[in-house]
Each structure stands twice: as C-alpha cells, then as structure tokens.
Amino acid sequence: MTVDADVPSEQAPTAPKAKSVRSLVVTWLRRLLLVAVVIGAGYYLISRWDEVWATLGEVPWYSAVLSLLAVVAGILSSTVGWQAVVDDLGKPVGRVVGSQIFLVSQLGKYVPGAVWAYVLQMELGRKAGLARSRMFISSLVQLGVSVVASLALGVLALPVLLDETPGAVWLYAVLPFGLAALHPKIMTWGVNLILRVLRKAPLDHTLRWSTIMKTLGFAVATYVLFGVHLWLLATGSGSARFSVLLLCIGAIAIGLTAGLFFFILPSGAGVRDVLVALALTPAVGPVAAAAFAVASRAMFTVADGATAGVAAVVARLRLPAEPETDAPLQP
C-alpha cells in the first residue's frame, strides 16, 4: 500500500512528534509503576515490622540469615527457569539482562492485581530490546509449569491442610490436566491458542522437551529452597525434624499456588500466610505458626527488593540491545 503518498507533505513531520509523545508517556507510566511497586513493598514491610522483629528475635541469628539466603537462592532459581523459556523463543538475552527483567518485574506483585508484574516484565523486556509477545509467552509457560510443580510438592502438606481446610482439595482438580499439558505439543498448542485470541503471531516451532524439563526442574528447586527457608525459621522453636521440612516444602508450595487465584491481593497477601500457618500449626503451635508465616512474607519482600536492586544496578552498566518486533518468534 502507498498510503504515505496521499498524505500532504506538511503533515509528514507530525508522525515523529506523535511517536515521541507516546514514547514519553510510556516511559513515565513505567516509572510511576515502578515507584508504586516499591512503595507497596516498603509499606508492607514497615507495617508488619513489629511482628516480624518479635518473631525473628526468637530465631537464632544464623538460622535467620540462612533462611533469608534460601529465599534469595529460590528467587534466583526461578529466574533461571524463566530464562530457559526466554532463550528457547529467540536469541539468548544473557544472564544480566534476563535477571534485571525478571527480578525487577517481580516487585509488581506488591501492587493489588498480579497483572502488574507481567505488565512491568513486558515493558522492561521491551526496553531491553525484546518483543512483548516473547515476554508474555515466557511468563505464561513458566507460570503453567510452576503451578504443576507446586501442586505436586503440595502433596507433602495436603493431609494436614485437608484436616483444617477440606476445600483445599479443589486445587488438585487441575493437577492431571497440568501434568498432561507439560507435553511440548500440548503446551505449544495452548500457547498458540492464547496468541490467536490475542491476535498475535503463533510460535513457529514446538517448545522443546529440554526447555520444559529445565523449567520444571528449577521450579521444583525453587519451592524446595522456599521450604528450607520456612523450615530454618521453624528450627527456632526446636522443630528441626525432617518431617517438618517436608511439611514446610509442601505448605509453601501450595500456598504460593493458592495465592495466584487471589490475584487482586498484593502478592496473594493473606492467602499464602493462612495456608502456611495452618500447615505449621501441628508442628510448632498456632501462635508460632502465624508468626513464622508473617516473618516469611517479610523476608520474601526483603529478598525481592534486594535481588531486584542488585540486578537493576548491574544491568544499568550495559548498553541497550537492538529492539525486536512482535513477529513470529524464532528458535
């Protein structure tokens, strides 16, 4: 088509100006979103500080430090799992850029409505030169794989949770479908179906077994590390048994998944805490269980902020990449 030839010459210069205004608006919206998520995370931590400090005061300092490091390790494990999908969909983005996009975007969880984490991820990816569709698909695949992993590990805590909340069994109605969906052809079909609804170009290749298994492996490692974090807190009350470790892994895995269904709350606030507290109650008592759940969430907030900050600072030293388009993704 030769539409440009029909446009009067005096109107031609307005196109760059319009593009410049749109770019400026997007840039400021991105900045405002980032400020909002930082304020949300900070407010949660400050508002719960007295409870957190009282709880951690009873935990040996070395257990608290190791517990926080376990959260950081789990977050980094999740980052690697996400990047495995990103790299399968195009040219590898590199650890530094990939970590910046994923870790900073996770702060979006602290704004009511979990969609902000994905919006921020797509915008950060776009700023780094990656197509928004690539970011969206990567998050979609990792989310699906992570839900399957969490439900599988959640079996470890299910007997205890069912005693307190029989309704939790409904989460497992999706597990058989999730396991089947791990097949590359089925997962690729599902992704393409969503892309078709969104009027985006489909994948031009089937997702690889190696990518899905790598993502699944890191998802399992992530939940195990998160469970170790909770267990290290519980050791402060003398509950260092291996059975308690398995309970912690299952509780935090199923708690994080349940929080996804209450996306209107910041980072599933309340839902995960209740499930974790219920699971830990038989082992440490109701008061300590509730306190550990609050302390755990606060430590997650600190770890999210710290990892995002480090990743952002390191990535600022790198030059921007060439932008991609939302054309069909390349292997």
* 329: pLDDT strictly greater than 50: no
* 80: pLDDT strictly greater than 90: yes
Chain segment 237-265, per-residue pLDDT in tens: 666 678 888 888 988 888 887 766 655 44
8 Å CB contact between 152 and 175: yes
Q: Calculate the average pLDDT of the chain.
A: 76
Higher pLDDT among residues 302 and 261, named by residue: 302
| Residue 330 confidence (pLDDT) | 46
* 195: pLDDT strictly greater than 90: no
| Residue 236 confidence (pLDDT) | 66
Higher pLDDT among residues 211 and 33, named by residue: 211
8 Å CB contact between 225 and 73: yes
* 172: pLDDT strictly greater than 90: no
* 42: pLDDT strictly greater than 80: no
Higher pLDDT among residues 295 and 75, named by residue: 75
Average pLDDT (34-46) is 56
